[in-house]
């Protein structure tokens, strides 16, 4: 059957570039770091829209970062401005 509107989101394709052990991702994504994290314990998990990178060029050292300007909370379908509370 069809997905129920209040429990589905349009998943747009991300753009991802990879060079060696460094990956750059742009679009809607589930991002997890020490500062920002998704909440996936619901049928409609939260997601962020923006650009992120992950680099594992050196052994025992990795870099992760991102810039996100929109968020889709777990209680909504739409994207809204990303702000802290």
Mean pLDDT of the 9-38 span? 79
Residue among 38, 39, 37, 12 at smallest CA distance from 27: 12
The token pair that represents 29 in the structure block = 């994504």
| Per-domain residue ranges of the chain | 13-81
**Per-residue pLDDT, 22:** 94
Residue 27 burial (C-beta neighbours within 10 Å; 0-12, 13-18, 19+) = middle
| pLDDT tops 80 at residue 57 | yes
Mean pLDDT of the 55-82 span? 80
Residue among 81, 58, 85, 59 at smallest CA distance from 70: 81
Residue among 60, 55, 70, 61 at smallest CA distance from 24: 55
Separation of alpha carbons 74 and 66, rounded Å: 20
């Amino acid at each position: 059957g069809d997905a129920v509107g209040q429990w589905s989101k349009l998943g747009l394709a991300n753009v991802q570039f990879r060079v060696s052990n460094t990956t750059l991702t742009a679009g809607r994504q589930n991002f997890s770091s020490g500062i920002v994290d998704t909440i996936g314990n619901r049928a409609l998990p939260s997601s962020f829209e923006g650009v992120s990178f992950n680099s594992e060029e050196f052994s025992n050292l990795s870099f992760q970062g991102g810039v996100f300007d929109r968020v889709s909370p777990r209680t909504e379908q739409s994207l809204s401005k990303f702000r802290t509370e």
